[in-house]
A and B are shown apart, each in its own frame.
Chain A
């Protein structure tokens, strides 16, 4: 049992390394891209965006970047993990191993990208003087919820995509809508109050709000929203794990 768990982690880590290596291999700058991409995005949002847009949100470029980093992690994970089992069919046909490492390694490699970008982003954030132990905890709670949600949905969609290849297109479409349904470019305070209940069904709302609160002291999500969102994250993850373990037994039949 312990051996199996250990093997699962070793395999997951090996697959994550494979994911990262394959992404940056044969590029001249290699792992430098890991840093360059978010840094470039940060420069544009920090210096060029404020020239064109005026908003009431305080520290808007920080606000925007906090949400965008989390969103990039989430949407990249989901859009790459969903077709991953179909792409890696030769692995599935090779041997018996825990299939979950295929989508989870994609989530994990994106998470490493995310963390690197976050560390770079934290340098300017330090100058805002908003960080404290409490805000770190809020951020970690939000980040954990984000990773759990990304992993749970990835398990669900990657498993279903083996049998129903439409899922991949569905996820692409969903992600476009989901971006605008999440308070990344806007703040919940700008929304009409009568419609606010709708955001209870988007679990990313609390996640992003927790992060905003942690980094730039934006208001915390209210208790009802938070509990709705938490419930959805737990439910989706449980369903994801269940469907994946059920479907993974017969992946080979559909590949």
Chain B
């Protein structure tokens, strides 16, 4: 397959099947039950996203948005089809995840940033910026279990935006920290939106998507129902 320099994300005929497990899976159940129920979260999705595009993904609950995002982030793998991703992809969706309660904020920065794909050298260069942006100066040596939820989210956000993503995944409810931090976070995101960064937003907030995204993808029952400009939003709202 040819990859073009402008290509950011290419999905070829992606499908994702989930097995529905009603209870904890155990070996005995596995053999006693005849066949697991299955559910196709995504069916034959084809998608080409170029560098710098700002994509809004809309759809009702259970339409497959989250699954699509997980596949883009590499957290799960499609049952069939190929995923091609150019560059570093960072998700702002689960900011509180991946921290270790017993380690200090400082040590968590290294661990978390490495999970996002940064090298130790890159982290060394940025660790001060990360701490400053998260506004955690005097707490950075304290173990994470002493942090409030807001502090943890601030740290998560700061690490993610300093990871220099090429592709950013986010949803609208970025409720990290107090008003002052929210302002700074929103400002940082606006900078990202102005840059040559590929951004995929998943949201139910139509106003936000209208403001931030130029291309809208409407997903329904695991398939792409519409893909285009703001007209898709009108169709989506009318259908509701």
Report how far A165 CA is from B119 CA in the complex, Å: 34
A249 within 8 A of B: yes
- The segment out of A17-25, A58-66, A116-124 that lies at the interface is A17-25
A11 and B102 contact, CB distance less than 8 A: no
Assuming the contacts A95-B74, A95-B115, A250-B77, asked whether A165 and B26 have C-beta atoms less than 8 A apart, the reply is yes
Report how far A250 CA is from B17 CA in the complex, Å: 11
Which residues of A in the span 78-126 have a Cβ within 8 Å of any Cβ on B? 90-97
Return A194 CB to nearest CB of chain B, in Å. 34
Assuming the contacts A10-B119, A22-B103, A25-B103, asked whether A93 and B94 have C-beta atoms less than 8 A apart, the reply is yes
- The segment out of B49-57, B106-114, B214-222 that lies at the interface is B106-114
Report how far A107 CA is from B40 CA in the complex, Å: 37
Grouping DSSP codes into helix (H, G, I), strand (E, B) and loop, the A interface class, with mixed when no group exceeds half, is helix
Assuming the contacts A95-B98, A96-B75, asked whether A164 and B27 have C-beta atoms less than 8 A apart, the reply is yes
B62 within 8 A of A: no
Chain B interface: which size bin? 35 or more
Which residues of A in the span 16-44 have a Cβ within 8 Å of any Cβ on B? 17-18, 21-22, 25-26
Partner of A166 from B26, B89, B94, B110 at Cβ < 8 Å: B26
B75 and A93 contact, CB distance less than 8 A: yes
A14 and B114 contact, CB distance less than 8 A: yes
Report how far A93 CA is from B74 CA in the complex, Å: 10
Which residues of B in the span 103-144 have a Cβ within 8 Å of any Cβ on A? 103, 107, 110-112, 114-117, 119-120, 143
A95 and B116 contact, CB distance less than 8 A: yes
The residues of B that contact A11 with a CB separation of less than 8 Å are 114-115
A193 within 8 A of B: no
Residue of B nearest to A163 (CB): B25
- B21-52 vs A, CB cutoff 8 Å, 1 = contact: the mask equals 10011111010000000000000000000000
A26 and B102 contact, CB distance less than 8 A: yes
Partner of A10 from B28, B75, B102, B114 at Cβ < 8 Å: B114
A254 within 8 A of B: yes
B114 and A90 contact, CB distance less than 8 A: no
The residues of A that contact B110 with a CB separation of less than 8 Å are 14
A253 and B24 contact, CB distance less than 8 A: no
Return B127 CB to nearest CB of chain A, in Å. 13
- A148-172 vs B, CB cutoff 8 Å, 1 = contact: the mask equals 0000000000000001111000000
A18 and B114 contact, CB distance less than 8 A: no
The residues of B that contact A204 with a CB separation of less than 8 Å are none
B94 and A94 contact, CB distance less than 8 A: yes
B230 within 8 A of A: no
B98 and A91 contact, CB distance less than 8 A: yes
B77 and A21 contact, CB distance less than 8 A: no
Partner of B117 from A15, A21, A95, A250 at Cβ < 8 Å: A95
Report how far A11 CA is from B116 CA in the complex, Å: 10
A90 and B97 contact, CB distance less than 8 A: yes
A164 and B115 contact, CB distance less than 8 A: no
Report how far A96 CA is from B88 CA in the complex, Å: 10
Return B195 CB to nearest CB of chain A, in Å. 21
Residue of B nearest to A17 (CB): B107
Report how far A97 CA is from B97 CA in the complex, Å: 14
Report how far A7 CA is from B119 CA in the complex, Å: 6
The residues of B that contact A92 with a CB separation of less than 8 Å are 75
A249 and B103 contact, CB distance less than 8 A: no
The residues of A that contact B94 with a CB separation of less than 8 Å are 93-94
B18 within 8 A of A: yes
The residues of B that contact A93 with a CB separation of less than 8 Å are 75, 94, 97-98
Residue of B nearest to A166 (CB): B27
A195 within 8 A of B: no
Partner of B76 from A25, A166, A249 at Cβ < 8 Å: A249
B204 within 8 A of A: no
A18 and B111 contact, CB distance less than 8 A: yes
Assuming the contacts A166-B27, A253-B19, asked whether A96 and B74 have C-beta atoms less than 8 A apart, the reply is yes
Inter-chain pairs besides A96-B75, A164-B27, A253-B76, 17 sampled, C-beta below 8 Å:
A10-B119, A14-B110, A18-B111, A21-B107, A22-B103, A92-B75, A94-B94, A94-B98, A95-B91, A95-B116, A164-B30, A249-B76, A250-B77, A252-B76, A253-B18, A254-B21, A254-B25
What are 12 A-B residue pairs whose CB atoms fall within 8 Å in the complex?
A18-B107, A22-B103, A90-B98, A93-B75, A94-B97, A95-B90, A96-B117, A165-B25, A166-B27, A249-B76, A253-B19, A254-B21
